[in-house]
Amino acid sequence: MFAWAVTGSPFVDLDSDEVLVCVFLFMIYFFLPRHLQVSIVDESDELYSRNRETTVALMSHGVMSFKTCSWNVWVLAPYIAHLTGQQYPPAGHTEPKAFTQACEHWFLSQILIAIGSHTTL
């Protein structure tokens, strides 16, 4: 599902020699055939959003930025840090019971939102 969210296609063969999965804070583009890029970013990353106020608002809600045309996703370091600073389980709530559950829920939610925003089944 993650590849679907990043590429916009449910039919990407990530085992193909034509696809290279990369996790970098920056990327050198000229030597890669086709790549799926995952960037861990903070509020200063201009590729996430060019508007500073929009960036702060979206990041405070944990909104990852998916660019399916270029196979890029920007994962939010500040939101992950926010999740690590929470007390689990939160007072008055039954879920999540641990950081890993909170992080997995957030990540899956972002993937499903991305797929739903560019896919019609």
pLDDT tens-digit map of 2-29: 888 888 888 877 676 656 555 554 444 4
Cα separation, 107 vs 24, in Å, equals: 18
Interhelix angle for 77-84 vs 52-60, to 10°?
30
Amino acid at 107: F
List the domain range (segments joined by +) for residue 60. 2-118
Please tell me the total count of domains within the chain.
1
**59 touches 43 (CB < 8 A):** yes
| Stretches in the chain below the pLDDT threshold 50 | 25-32
| pLDDT for the residue numbered 113 | 92
pTM of the model: 0.77
Cα separation, 50 vs 54, in Å, equals: 8
| pLDDT for the residue numbered 30 | 43
Cα separation, 39 vs 42, in Å, equals: 10
